[in-house]
Amino acid sequence: MAIKTISTQVFEGQKPGTSGLRKKVKEFQRSGYLENFVQAIFNTIAPCDGHTLVVGGDGRFFNREAIQVIIRMAAANGFSRLLVGQGGILSTPAASCIIRKHQARGGIILSASHNPGGPDGDFGIKFNGDNGGPAPESLTDSIYQQTLSIDHYLIEDAEDVNLDQLGAYSLAGTAIEIIDPVADYADLMASLFDFERMKALLTNGKFRMCFDAMHAVTGPYAKEIFERRLGAAEGTVINGVPLEDFGGGHPDPNQVHAHELVALLNGDNPMDFGAASDGDGDRNMVLGKGFYLNPCDSLAVMAANAQYIPGYAEGIAGIARSMPTSRAADRVAKKLGIHCYETPTGWKFFGNLLDAGKITLCGEESFGTGSDHVREKDGMWAVLFWLNLIAVRNQPLGEIVKNHWTRYGRDYFTRHDYEAVNSERAADMIERLRGQLPDLPGREFAGLCIESADDFSYTDPIDGSETCNQGVRIFFDNGGRVVFRLSGTGTEGATLRVYFDQYQNDPTLLGQDPQKALATLMDAADQVAGIIEYTGREKPDVIT
């Protein structure tokens, strides 16, 4: 075996977005494309000598090939130890857990999350640091700079490693351990939640639940935790085998894509509790009997009830939410006398706050919730939190949330996505909005008057770093808010996201359909921004 130095040429556009580098599989299959990016990571975090690296992915098409390349490159770059999930599998939160538990230098996670997989689908790669969290912008910027000047990479000339066999191998002085992807993570969950109580609920012969793993990474985790450790009936986990193309589905846990699950929680004889996760296991959708739980409400209700959960029984230090997430959590923070931070979209912005102990819980409207137990959002964790809460409060999910609204009022929220729209037109729309910002206050649209408008920027309270242009926010005099931003995870054209939220505390108006409750705000948003005109679409592609 020998280290080979391979000459390479720069690929344009290897700039990480909201969550790592995401491109079409075809792009990643270009000779040297993956290698350049991986070498750029190693150059940025050098020296690698003597360090441990965690490697795994969501099991999508190209996962195994990519892992073999990364193993050989990591060995050539001097890592002393690699921890690789069996079968190439590691959910994003499990990777975060393993990095922390084994004091690794970091981890490489292969995933395009909820984006479709398969030969014509998407692939992605992200680097997480030694705290287990996504690389901050300063690091992703350095990695990108490296990709612009790279001219060679290092790779060990060696055979493929058997990813399916647990055990230890040695490759040119690097110890390669193929590890159980689930065990450390499941143990962490057992340390946070009251498994005994949850087991009693799941085996009482009355409570019925279903977990939809959407043929993505959470299948093995859900089977171990729900069916083995918590005693739920076999078959509780559906679509539980990770498939390279997610069974042709779209592993995005929302009501549109997890329709099989939604049907089980509605209609005749609905189940009591349902949940789904995404491609890499960091998102969650939680449903009660005939009840949809909005992720913004999920964060707020969790914060208000954290004392019921063993891992959080001593109280929470603070909360953070991404800017477009509704302000429901802010109300809970106020009542608890703790701070609620507002960060840009993307989990990487929570890392410093978590590391500094400023926050315990954090969340995003995009089906992401998590805590200081790892440094990623965590789908299974969120589902277990809810199950634990239901077991302790002995109330159905819908009732817990409705009680919360009665106490705090309800922040109606919805997000409209316009996918694969013309990139230039979408950019023009946002540019025009930015240009209008100073003139918007005082103007009226659809009968609502604008109070203030800005483009969100954030100064990290821990390291002082600044992040600008994170979304146009428009605040109306009725308390409503509309946010416009372009996605940083899409791979085709542009995806425009429009977020609406509005507070309501009239007890007779807490049970409306959000699409109706927010209808006037939607009219106003279209009038201000010209959504229909710029996108050429009459209505959004996805509503969450």
- Interface ranges with ligand VG1 (CB under 6 A): 18-19, 113-114, 278, 282-283, 322, 345-347, 364, 366, 368, 487-489, 497
Instruction: For residue 477, give the nearest of 514, 509, 524, 431 by alpha carbon.
Output: 524
CB of 341 to ligand VG1, least distance (A): 15
Question: Where do we find the tokens 């935790």?
Answer: 225
Q: CA torsion sign, 35 to 40 to 43 to 46?
A: negative
CB of 483 to ligand VG1, least distance (A): 11
Which does residue 364 touch among Co ion, ligand VG1, none (CB within 5 to 8 A, set by kind)? ligand VG1
Piece of the chain touching Co ion by CB under 5 A; list 116-124, 244-252, 281-289, 426-434: 281-289
Catalytic residue among 96, 113, 322, 487: 113
Residue 55 tokens, joined = 């490697």
Residue whose beta carbon is closest to ligand VG1? 113
What are the CB-based long-range contacts (under 8 Å, 24+) for 136-143?
Answer: 136/348, 136/351, 136/352, 136/465, 137/348, 137/465, 137/467, 138/465, 139/44, 139/45, 140/15, 140/16, 140/348, 142/44, 143/16, 143/37, 143/40, 143/41, 143/44
CB of 476 to ligand VG1, least distance (A): 23
Give strand pairing partners of 342.
Answer: 321
Other CB atoms closer than 10 Å to residue 336's CB: what's the count?
A: 17
- Using alpha carbons, list the distances in angstroms from residue 56 to 14, 30, 231, 234, 413: 20, 21, 28, 27, 35
Query: Max CA-CA distance within the chain?
Result: 73
CB 424 within 8 A of CB 459: no
Question: Where do we find the tokens 């509704």?
Answer: 326
User: 78 vs 363, which CB is nearer to Co ion?
Assistant: 363
Q: Which residue type does 483 have?
A: V
Residue 271 three-state SS: coil
CB 484 within 8 A of CB 529: yes
Which does residue 32 touch among ligand VG1, Co ion, none (CB within 5 to 8 A, set by kind)? none
Which does residue 318 touch among ligand VG1, Co ion, none (CB within 5 to 8 A, set by kind)? none
Q: For residues 414 and 482, what is the distance between their CA atoms, to the nearest angstrom?
A: 10
User: 322 vs 388, which CB is nearer to ligand VG1?
Assistant: 322
Give strand pairing partners of 502.
Answer: 412
Q: Which of 35, 282, 364, 501 lies at the binding interface for Co ion (CB under 5 A)? A: 282
Q: Which residue type does 351 have?
A: G
Number of residues this chain uses to bind Co ion (CB under 5 A): 5
User: 283 vs 321, which CB is nearer to Co ion?
Assistant: 283
Which does residue 147 touch among Co ion, ligand VG1, none (CB within 5 to 8 A, set by kind)? none
User: 340 vs 362, which CB is nearer to Co ion?
Assistant: 362
CB of 58 to Co ion, least distance (A): 8
CB of 278 to Co ion, least distance (A): 4
CB contact set of 226 (below 8 Å; sequence gap of 6+): 202, 209, 211, 232, 236, 237
Cα angle: 537, vertex 538, 543; to 5 degrees: 90
Q: For residues 470 and 486, what is the distance between their CA atoms, to the nearest angstrom?
A: 9
For residue 303, which phi and psi values (nearest 5 degrees)? -60, -40
Helices 92-101, 379-393: crossing angle, 10 deg rounding: 90
Which does residue 331 touch among Co ion, ligand VG1, none (CB within 5 to 8 A, set by kind)? none
Which does residue 488 touch among ligand VG1, Co ion, none (CB within 5 to 8 A, set by kind)? ligand VG1
Which does residue 325 touch among ligand VG1, Co ion, none (CB within 5 to 8 A, set by kind)? none
Which does residue 137 touch among ligand VG1, Co ion, none (CB within 5 to 8 A, set by kind)? none
User: 281 vs 288, which CB is nearer to Co ion?
Assistant: 281
CB of 193 to ligand VG1, least distance (A): 22
Piece of the chain touching Co ion by CB under 5 A; list 111-119, 261-269, 300-308, 347-355: 111-119
User: 224 vs 282, which CB is nearer to ligand VG1?
Assistant: 282
Residue whose beta carbon is closest to Co ion? 113
User: 105 vs 283, which CB is nearer to ligand VG1?
Assistant: 283
The answer to whether 330 contacts Co ion (rule: CB under 5 A) is no
CB 153 within 8 A of CB 373: no
Restricting to residues 241-280, which ones interact with Co ion according to CB under 5 A?
278, 280
CB of 378 to ligand VG1, least distance (A): 11
Residue 481 tokens, joined = 């808010």
Is 7 an annotated catalytic residue? Answer: no
The answer to whether 113 contacts Co ion (rule: CB under 5 A) is yes
User: 156 vs 280, which CB is nearer to ligand VG1?
Assistant: 280
Q: For residues 207 and 271, what is the distance between their CA atoms, to the nearest angstrom?
A: 8
Residue ranges in contact with Co ion by CB under 5 A:
113, 278, 280, 282-283
* Active-site residue list: 113
